[in-house]
């Protein structure tokens, strides 16, 4: 076994989700949104996802925009196997039907997708995550009681063409809300920018290219997880009462 993976998994800090979207698998701090690249083989994608999981990724999503249901389900089943073998929760982007068919733990919805309440009626057993891009969206999302929500894009990213960056101010605004559920800073997060997001108040991040496109996805994930753990140690130290 890769020593980096064993160490990272042993140090993971997760939050158990309760309520309508409860799951036996808890949400972690390093969320990988796996998006197949044009021309990429399934074998290469799965190998990179497996390496990322072994490096420390502790929450996983498969995002296949504009795919038909049958191939989306087939790939989602393979990715779910990788995630569940490592006790990592697995989400499908956009499609509650695909999430159910593939045995995923949850579905992630954008602002233009199904409302959380509608998705919950269709699939009450699924955890439901939501994308947000502004403070009013975060407030509205919290009223829907999702399992988690994402905040971004913090920086401009080709993963979200046409979506303006919300900047670090939005992360500070969400942190000030002290949300009762997990939330993730997303968008242009990598080894060079993660510190800014953490300093702004995030304690969890979601990534795409920083891990999936890295020469060594396991090493990239381990580096990001190390930054998350270091930020958590600093936070605990500053919040501990003086002796």
Binding-site residues, please?
A: 61-65, 93-94, 113, 131, 157-160, 188
First-to-final CA distance of the chain: 42
Secondary structure of residue 14 in the 3-state scheme: coil
Binding residue positions for Mg(2+): 94, 113
- Residue pair 104/84 in contact (Cβ under 8 Å)? The answer is no
DSSP state of 168: H
Smallest CA-to-CA distance from 187 within 55, 12, 31 is with 31
DSSP 3-state percent helix, strand, coil across the chain (nearest 5)? 45, 15, 40
Query: Left if phi > 0, otherwise alpha if psi is -120 to 50, otherwise beta: which for 83?
Result: alpha
Burial of residue 144 (number of CB atoms within 10 Å: 0-12, 13-18, 19+):
middle
Cα(7)–Cα(203) distance, integer angstroms: 20
Smallest CA-to-CA distance from 112 within 165, 162, 178, 176 is with 162
φ/ψ of residue 18, rounded to 5: -120, 170
């Amino acid at each position: 076994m890769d020593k980096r993976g064993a160490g990272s998994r042993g140090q993971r800090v997760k939050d158990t989700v309760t309520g309508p979207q409860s799951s036996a698998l808890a949400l972690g701090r390093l969320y990988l949104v796996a998006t197949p690249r044009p021309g990429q083989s399934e074998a290469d994608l799965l190998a990179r996802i497996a390496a990322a999981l072994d490096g420390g990724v502790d929450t996983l999503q498969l995002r296949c925009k504009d795919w038909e249901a049958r191939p989306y389900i087939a790939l989602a089943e393979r990715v779910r196997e990788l995630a569940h073998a490592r006790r990592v929760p697995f989400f499908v982007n956009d499609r509650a039907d695909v999430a159910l068919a593939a045995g995923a733990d949850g579905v992630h919805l954008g602002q233009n997708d199904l409302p959380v309440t509608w998705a919950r009626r269709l699939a009450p057993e699924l955890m439901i995550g939501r994308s947000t891009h502004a403070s009013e969206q975060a407030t509205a999302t919290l009223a829907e009681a999702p399992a988690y929500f994402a905040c971004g894009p913090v920086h401009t990213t080709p993963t979200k063409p046409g979506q303006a960056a919300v900047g670090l101010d939005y992360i500070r605004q969400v942190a000030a809300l002290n949300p009762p559920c997990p939330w993730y800073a997303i968008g242009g997060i990598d080894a060079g920018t993660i510190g800014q997001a953490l300093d702004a108040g995030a304690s969890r991040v979601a990534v795409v290219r920083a891990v999936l496109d890295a020469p060594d996805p396991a090493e990239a994930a381990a580096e990001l997880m190390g930054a998350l753990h270091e930020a958590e140690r600093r936070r605990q130290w500053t919040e501990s009462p003086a002796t």
